[in-house]
Amino acid sequence: MTLFNAPEFRKPGFRLALAACLVAIIVLGMGVFTRLADAGLGCPDWPGCYGHVLWPTAEHEVARANEAFPDMPVEHDKTWPEMIHRYLATSLGLFTIGLLVFALRHRGPEQPLKLPAFLLAFIILQGMFGMWTVTLKLWPQVVTAHLLGGFTTLSLLWLLTLRLNNQRWQLPAIAAAKLQALRPLVVIGLLIVVGQIALGGWTTSNYADIACPDFPKCQGAWLPPMDFANGFNIAQHVGPNYLGGVLDNDARVAIHVSHRFGAIVTSLYLLMLFVKLRGLGIAPAKRAAAATLVVLLAQVLLGISNIVFNFPIAVAVAHNLVGAMLLLVMVTTNYCVFTAQVNRGGVRV
């Protein structure tokens, strides 16, 4: 059994949904790059950039923009990532409109309709968070929510792709019963990965990724001074420009160390899940276990490399994208476990 079904068994809109997933990955990667390049406020207004559809390039345009925004002069290495990210995100909205149109044109009992409709509504909300990210000057709560929204959009698009792919595991009755017993474990695995991604988002939005420049210790200590109360204070007031972060060292260390401990918990749990899936002795479950292990190891190595090599942007972007891949692996595993069918004489039931 391959990941994708034969074309004749797929539902209408599969290719469009798969293309939307690829665009969502690009949007996510571009958003990560924009944030890591400190270009989140490369355009201090919205939806334009210093009043331009793209960004100011000519000398008189730059001079006029600097006059209008004296506290945030034009930096060309930051304007283009922000605007490209915005336009890519807009194109993703067009994809979701197309998916809803497909669903309405081929409306039927087995054609997903609620999910494409929800996706379009969610994309609109995600666009609002993109606006608030700029207008609220990188307020960490909004930045983290916007990041989680990007991961959620990708996950929902992938779930839609799996549903349109119209392929389920076909298992003997005994194997299906064993797999059903693992449902709570795979759901918990998904929630743990989501929690770790949220911790990572809070880490980057508060510029706490560089709070621990050494590994495995942090600032030369196993347990450095940490201020959890301020580090995880979600009631930070709106108003300051949060570019570069405003928390003190101990608060950022608390966030960073929490993310490291979260990585340990996530790794141990997914390793346990890997053993459970392989122990079923079912070929598709073994493949799911192998995918989980490979992506998990890649993510751990990238996380360590971030610190060892002093947070190069390329590695940091890869760390975020592989984190997205780990989330998609868990979404796929949950979908397959919950939709597995008993194979009775080769006939789908």
Q: d(Cα 161, Cα 58) in Å, to the nearest integer?
A: 44
Q: Is 82 a catalytic residue?
A: yes
Facing residues of 342 across strands? Answer: 171
Q: d(Cα 155, Cα 193) in Å, to the nearest integer?
A: 12
Size of the chain, expressed as the number of residues it contains: 349
CB atoms < 10 A from the CB of 297, how many? 13
**Displacement of CA 273 from its chain's centroid (Å):** 21
Closest listed residue to residue 285, CA positions, set 194, 173, 188, 186: 186
Of 59, 61, 82, 110, the catalytic one is: 82
Alpha-carbon distances of 75 from 50, 54, 61, 69, 204, rounded to whole Å: 11, 14, 13, 12, 22
- For 271, counting Cβ atoms within 10 Å of its Cβ (0-12 exposed, 13-18 middle, 19+ buried), the class is middle
Q: Which sequence positions are flagged as catalytic?
A: 82
